[in-house]
A and B are shown apart, each in its own frame.
Chain A
Amino acid sequence: ETGVTQTPRHLVMGMTNKKSLKCEQHLGHNAMYWYKQSAKKPLELMFVYSLEERVENNSVPSRFSPECPNSSHLFLHLHTLQPEDSALYLCASSQGGGGFRDTDTQYFGPGTRLTVL
């Protein structure tokens, strides 16, 4: 495995529910990412955290709220989602830290398959 775990692996929720996705990395990395992968579409970067500080927010709707309490854990809080938000949500980590290097490899978790009814 890659050293990045995600829970739950599958989630079905109604549009009025509130749920959270969890990601944990065991690689000692300093940067963590949330991506969205919809069918037949490229991975879309949602958020980037470096040393627990959000450094990138790619115009993501406010119904998605990330949280990074420490460098090993990343959450994505979901509230009043729409059916078009159904997708595979992937978490990744990289060495990052004070100086990102473009050669840093990103390590992905297995993803959470989200279905919004």
Chain B
Amino acid sequence: SQKIEQNSEALNIQEGKTATLTCNYTNYSPAYLQWYRQDPGRGPVFLLLIRENEKEKRKERLKVTFDTTLKQSLFHITASQPADSATYLCALTSGGYNKLIFGAGTRLAVHP
């Protein structure tokens, strides 16, 4: 069956360090992968989209990699700040109508 896996355990890191979150998928061949941020009590907010023919995408302190051979995406936040604390969701496009399949998310806590 199709599955998207994100580390369900919270990731705790020190301010200033690089946070790395993992998204693995099985039985998909997505052309695109997206990352969203979700704060408690709020809806997800789009961060980055990466295409299957792009190995890496950057936006300010964010970097996403996409390895279609490993079926894995890594999401990095460099020079992390307490304000980066949130749950980060990866999502794949599946089928028509821009249908997104989400992982359960990884909660990131950045400590001062």
Q: A102-B93, A103-B49 are in contact. Are A56 and B43 (CB under 8 A)?
A: no
B41 within 8 A of A: yes
CB contact under 8 A between A108 and B45, given known A31-B97, A31-B98, A102-B98? yes
Q: Is the CB of A110 within 8 A of B97?
A: no
- Asked if B108 CB lies within 8 Å of chain A CBs, one says no
What bracket does the count of chain B residues touching chain A fall in?
Answer: 20 to 34
The stretch among A14-22, A75-83, A90-98 that forms the contact with chain B is A90-98
Task: Return chain A residues, CB-CB under 8 Å to B41.
Answer: 110-111, 113
| Size category, A interface | 20 to 34
CB within 8 Å for A43 and B32 given contacts A94-B98, A100-B96, A100-B97: no
Interface of chain B residues 12 through 55 with chain A (CB within 8 A): 31-32, 34, 41-46, 49, 51
Asked if A42 lies at the interface with its beta carbon under 8 angstroms from chain B, I say yes
Q: Chain B: residues with CB nearer than 8 A to chain A? A: 4, 8, 31-32, 34, 41-46, 49, 51, 89, 93, 96-105
4 A-B pairs with the lowest CB-CB distances in the bound complex, closest first: A108-B43, A102-B93, A43-B102, A42-B102
Across-interface contacts of B105 in A (CB, < 8 A): 42
Cβ of A117 within 8 Å of any chain B Cβ, yes or no, is: no
Contacts of B43 in A (CB 8 A): 2, 4, 90, 92, 108-111
The A interface is mostly helix, strand or loop, or mixed, namely loop
Return 16 A-B CB contacts under 8 Å, by A number: A2-B43, A41-B104, A43-B44, A43-B89, A55-B96, A90-B43, A96-B98, A100-B96, A100-B97, A100-B98, A103-B32, A104-B98, A105-B34, A106-B98, A106-B100, A110-B41
Q: Which residues of B contact A55 (CB under 8 A)?
A: 96-97
Q: Which residues of A contact B42 (CB under 8 A)?
A: 110-111
Q: 0/1 per residue, A39-67, Cβ < 8 Å to B?
A: 01111010010100001100000000000
Q: Which residues of B contact A111 (CB under 8 A)?
A: 41-43
Q: Which residues of A contact B (CB under 8 A)?
A: 2, 4, 31, 40-43, 45, 48, 50, 55-56, 90, 92, 94, 96, 100-111, 113
